[in-house]
Chain A
Amino acid sequence: MMILSFALTLAGVTVMAMVAPRHVSDWFQGPPPISLFRLAGLASMAFGLMASVPDWGLACGLVLWTGQLSVAGVMSASFMSLRRRFKGRT
């Protein structure tokens, strides 16, 4: 469950990062349905939270999920930055 929770949270955060204003052109040719992507990202993050509750309970699960959200955020930001570099954009 712990891995599932982190995977869902990371996926959600990454989708949110892909449609962030300064990253969207790195990933999409034309304008993507941003609202749809954001909804999917938020839903994935919410499922990540739900997956962390059965193991740890609501109180601890919420705290642990918030920590995972931060780590996932830093990983996504690094990934976005590396990809820009890889594509030769700065």
Chain B
Amino acid sequence: MTGTLRQVMAPVHTWIGLIFGWVLYVIAVTGTAIVFRTEMDAWMRPETRIGEGVPTERALAAAHTYLKRHASLSESWEIVVPTEGRAVLVRWFDGRLIERWLDPRGEVLFVRETAGSQFIVDLHYTLHAGAFGLWLVALAGALMLIALVTGIILHKRILADIFLFRPGKGQRSWLDGHNVAGVLTLPFQFMIAASGLVFSLTTLMPAPLQALYREDEGAYFEESIPHFEREPSGQYAAPAALAPMWRRAVDTYGEAGVGLIVVHDPLDAASTIDLYDGPHSRLSLMSNRLTFDGMTGAELDRQIKYGGAYGFQSVLSGLHFGNLGDRLGAWLYFASGLATAILIATGLILWTVKREARGQAVGRVVRMNAALIWGAPAVLGGLFLANRLLPVTLQNRAAAEVSVALIAAGVAVAIALFRPRSTLWGEGAALNALLLIAALGLAQSPFAVAGFGAFDAVLAVGGLLFAGLGAYLRLQGRTT
């Protein structure tokens, strides 16, 4: 190997950055969006808003009564405890998974079918390409760590110029932007790439599990997440009321409250009921559990401490989610995710700017960069717009939403491929602004069922950012 360390690292950084930058950009954009997953899902199902002031105990009792009447033969029931002002979701298995949204009286609500945030989550960690996608995302994550280390080595004045951004100076400005976005959020970049890999640890590094548990990998999870189990008796018994168990769990969990209730062998004399705690401020993803006797309501078991390898993995996975500090963590992760997307986008643009300055023809790469940089967010904007645009009673509505999202991305790609280079950057940003503002507009129309919520604010901020960026790029006549 010849040359200084920097000379050796430069091509590694450049080529990992260009080739895997495209994959990483999609991961960064989708990851940034799903920081607001809870708010997004509530926004995409506006019919679940039932108004404030309904006591949770009453809503749970109504849900319990509904399940007793309609799912008496099922082996287990799940009741998702609603956040303030939202409907209760109940689930059970009857040959297939059945889900119903219930109002506080226990009446079934009509809720539009939607792809929901799950579509974006799948795009984030598998690119919707199954096991192959998961491995590709993992490879990109591992290579991101290499790109970060080589980037640090390449940066000559990493501490001295940490705050330096000089706009309007062509290649120099793109490099400054790339450096500022990367260096100032470096702890986040390392954490998010490493914890993302740890998240799929058992898939990516199955050898230790296979060595210790042979063919039965499920045994690892059973040991890590102990459950209280009891054989059904086959005897009918009238179930105990949920409210006293719920109150007991709320006292134990404090601020977190109860998030999920699972009833095992309902209506059986040996029925048990698990109450898990809700989302709250802590690093670990693990849920605490209290188990009660389904007939007497007496506490049988509690699991509020975990440890060992699973605990380690859960803390790192929790770090990836950033569900901490109420919603402060979400906003900080959103800002850092945005910085990651900017880091990757400026890196991609820098590749072309540098080569064009040397007189190389890189027009195709410029267009591919633009297609990706504006196409990835257009998928999200298209999905949100479709959620409000399509008739609520449409058959296969979730799939139709995804089709609209892909059409929106297709338009962004077409702009990038066929419009003149002086206008394509501005138009790509304008398309994204249009999608978000149109979705917000439809959500706020007089016929809309829900008011202005947290996710409407996120759409407004996103739409204005894209609009401002589009106007700026159009005025500049950016050709990079």
Contact = CB atoms under 8 A, between A and B. Distances in A.
Given A67-B188, A68-B332, A70-B185, A60 B164 contact: no
A22 B164 CA distance: 8
Nearest to A56: B325
Contacts of A20: 160-164
A68 to B, nearest CB: 7
B51 interface: no
A7 interface: no
Interface stretch (B111-119, B134-142, B333-341, B364-372): B333-341
A39 interface: no
Interface stretch (B165-173, B410-418, B455-463): B165-173
Contact of B329 (A64, A76, A84): A64
A68 B184 CA distance: 11
Contacts of B336: 67, 70-71
A19 B187 CA distance: 23
Interface string B173-191: 0000000110011011000
B65 interface: no
B329 to A, nearest CB: 6
A7 B181 CA distance: 21
B165 A78 contact: yes
Contact of A71 (B165, B325, B335): B335
Contacts of B164: 20, 22-23, 77, 80
Contacts of A63: 283, 319, 322, 324, 329
A10 to B, nearest CB: 13
Contact of B328 (A2, A22, A66, A84): A2
Contact of B165 (A64, A66, A68, A80): A80
A85 interface: yes
B284 to A, nearest CB: 9
Nearest to A23: B163
B163 A77 contact: yes
Interface string A71-86: 1011011101100110
Contact of A60 (B166, B185, B324): B324
Contact of A67 (B161, B163, B281, B333): B333
A80 B176 CA distance: 13
A12 B188 CA distance: 20
B168 A90 contact: yes
Category for how many chain A residues contact B: 20 to 34
A72 to B, nearest CB: 9
Contacts of A56: 281, 324-325
Interface in A15-40: 16-17, 20-23
Contacts of A69: 187
Contacts of B281: 56, 60
Contact of A70 (B188, B319, B328): B188
A64 B332 contact: yes
A78 B325 CA distance: 26
Contacts of A60: 281-283, 324-325, 329
Nearest to A20: B163
B187 A90 contact: no
Given A20-B160, A74-B184, A67 B166 contact: no
Given A63-B324, A70-B335, 10 more contacts: A17-B162, A60-B325, A63-B329, A64-B325, A67-B329, A71-B336, A74-B185, A76-B163, A77-B164, A81-B166
Interface of A: 2, 16-17, 20-23, 55-56, 59-60, 63-64, 66-71, 73-74, 76-78, 80-81, 84-85, 90
6 closest A-B pairs by CB:
A67-B332, A73-B184, A17-B163, A77-B163, A81-B165, A70-B185
